[in-house]
Amino acid sequence: MTKKRARELGIPLTGITGKNNAITDVCGIEVGYSTVIYGTPDDYTGPGSAFARTGVTAILPRGKQHSAVFVGRHDLNGNGELTGTHWLDDSGLMHGPVLITNTNSVGIVRDTTSKWMIDNHFYFPYVNNGQPVDGVGYFYPVVGETWDGLLNDINGFHIKPEHALEALNNAHAGAIAEGNVGGGTGMICHDFKGGTGTASRIVSTEAGEFTLGVLVQANHGMRDTFQICGIPLKDEFGPETMPVINTFAPKPGTGSIIVILATDAPLLPWQLSKLTKRVPIGIGLLGAYGDNGSGDIFLAFSTANENAYSLGISKIDMLSDEIIDPLYIATVEAVEEAVLNALCAAETMEGRDHNLVQALPQDQLLAILKKYGKIK
């Protein structure tokens, strides 16, 4: 059957989505990918083989123009990496794009992003005696990761500068791909093929209507606790859908999820941090609990307040905490749907050592939902 996104498949989901049901529904945001797939499983003979199943995802908060956005973050479980966080926490500002890749490629992606920002003047220059100094500025690229070592030759370090540049330069608005793309290429979710997923919500508040978008790199969870619409799925899918791992099998639950939230609502850093603290509810609805071996790392930014950063006084708008609850609800809804979209879009993949991870079988899932009366 033709692959469908979660909502198109008929999974009952709440909330009103944006046009593309994607993070790019937040005006100005662009997303780009570099998907690195080459070689056959027989080509993998050890680290450095001519074999890869990995990639890079880039999120540009205001497209290809330098800017600063208010930012907040939260870690549910910190067994992972997100660079630049000390300054995010202290300043409440993010000065560049967000990239996501595999665990061993954070360094090359970060360094390449730094060069891209310099080459494209994608930063605020250092000011000395009231004058900007050309070529001098400080910024800390934000790069997150999840581990794709069961399907990818992760110790072969196959991500190169050109892949990070491809993701940055190809970033665009509108509809974006999901599943086995970008940084999500080699990822596994609840023992099915996982990867990149996205969703959005249109949010009505007393101050007006806003958009909230989510992008996830889903490499987390285990089959034993996986559920959809409250239906425990541990015994609903047959053993033939379980991963075939011919190398070591990590402890169940070992994995990670990176969640990037974006909104055009005028939120300040502490409010954005409060948004990210609602992300665990969304992933928890599907049966993920932030296991000890998992890196569950969440970041949120607001594209409102274009003058968030200045050298003097910035006059900014702020949505009252008293009317922010609809954004909390939208966060939970969109995170759940983004993970489901990653699962629905992903394709079965055979990786290193002939490790095989099956895609979520949509026809079987529909039958299960019908069995429990969730759909007709």
Rounded Cα distance, 309 and 193, in Å: 40
Angle at which helix 106-119 crosses helix 161-169, to 10 degrees, equals: 50
352: exposed, middle or buried (Cβ count in 10 Å: 0-12, 13-18, 19+):
buried
Active-site choice (67, 200, 256, 302): 256
What is the DSSP code string of 158-177? ---HHHHHHHHHT-BSS---
Burial 179-199 (b: 16+ CB within 10 A, else e): bbbbbbbbbbbbbbbbbbbbb
Active-site choice (34, 67, 105, 294): 294
- State how beta strands 255-263 and 208-219 pair: antiparallel
Q: Which helix (H) or strand (E) holds 117?
A: helix 106-119
Radius of gyration over alpha carbons of the chain, in Å?
A: 20
Active-site choice (191, 296, 302, 353): 296
Dihedral over Cα of 303, 294, 188, 111: its sign: positive
**Is 256 among the residues known to form the active site?**
yes
**Is 294 among the residues known to form the active site?**
yes
CA-wise closest residue to 88 among 298, 369, 236: 298
Positions marked active-site: 256, 294, 296
